[in-house]
């Protein structure tokens, strides 16, 4: 194993080159490198959208007992929870943690008022997503994400290996060169389970309080936080 790449000594010049033209567009090679680098200090923060399902399948090929964390905000679609149960049955060796926020919905309402997501979605995301992931990553060296460059302008410059200033960690994104068609082609070819909401106009699926069917076929995330000047929950913004 080469010298460990961590947040403090991150240097793009010492990172390996991954084959963008391989069968998985570098994804499997990136995962093999990440697993050899970080072992049990590598965590996959998975939202269980279709990209997440594909990345989970690839990860299981490299490390069948890999650690996966789902940020369980308590306001996800029932279809998402059902999918997670399917994934657990398909990959029984994977360690899947349902990470809850420090505050229950009732406690959040008591402190900040009902339906905080309607009045201050950034505050709600911070409580129910960012703070829990910060806690999870405090025991890890690196984390995996299913970001793709094609998804949005804010993700267009994502690299395979990234210095994550928000979480003081290394963020690894194996699917950056995959297209929407690539993702679905792989899922269907391998008979992967997926969230049925994808068949009903939801290309990007988050909390049910802030996710609607897409209104723009050219922007797969246009169904998120409709009517707000917001495109990300904050997990992927430095």
Q: What DSSP letter does each residue of 101-122 carry, written as one string? A: PSS-HHHHHHHH-S-HHHH-HH
pLDDT at res. 112: 96
Is residue 207 flagged as an active site residue?
no
pLDDT in tens, 176-213: 999 999 999 999 999 999 999 999 888 889 999 988 77
**CA angle 42-30-10, nearest 5°?**
65
Q: What is the pTM of this model?
A: 0.88
Among 46, 125, 207, 233, the one annotated catalytic: 233
d(CA 34, CA 151): 23
Please state which of the ranges 51-55, 70-74, 98-102, 201-205 shows the lowest mean pLDDT: 201-205
Residue among 48, 16, 11 at smallest CA distance from 202: 48
pLDDT at res. 236: 45
Write out the two tokens for 185.
């082609």
Q: Which residues pair with 177 in a beta bridge?
A: none
């Amino acid at each position: 194993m080469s010298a460990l790449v961590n947040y403090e000594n991150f240097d793009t010049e010492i990172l390996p080159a991954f084959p963008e033209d391989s069968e998985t567009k570098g994804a499997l090679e990136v995962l093999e490198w990440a697993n050899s680098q970080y072992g049990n200090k590598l965590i996959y923060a998975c939202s269980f959208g279709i990209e997440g399902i594909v990345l989970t399948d690839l990860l299981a090929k490299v490390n069948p007992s890999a650690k996966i964390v789902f940020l369980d905000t308590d306001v996800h679609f029932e279809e998402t929870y059902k999918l997670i149960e399917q994934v657990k049955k398909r990959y029984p060796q994977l360690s899947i943690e349902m990470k809850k926020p420090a505050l229950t919905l009732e406690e959040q309402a008591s402190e900040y008022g009902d339906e905080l997501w309607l009045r201050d979605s950034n505050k709600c995301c911070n409580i129910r997503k960012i703070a829990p992931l910060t806690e999870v990553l405090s025991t890890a060296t690196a984390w995996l994400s299913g970001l793709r460059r094609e998804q949005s302008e804010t993700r267009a410059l994502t690299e395979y290996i990234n210095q994550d200033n928000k979480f003081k960690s290394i963020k690894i994104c194996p699917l950056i060169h995959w297209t929407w068609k690539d993702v679905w082609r792989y899922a269907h070819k391998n008979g992967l389970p997926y969230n049925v909401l994808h068949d009903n106009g939801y290309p990007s699926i988050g909390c049910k309080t802030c996710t609607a069917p897409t209104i723009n076929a050219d922007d797969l995330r246009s169904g998120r936080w409709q009517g707000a000047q917001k495109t990300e929950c904050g997990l992927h913004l430095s």
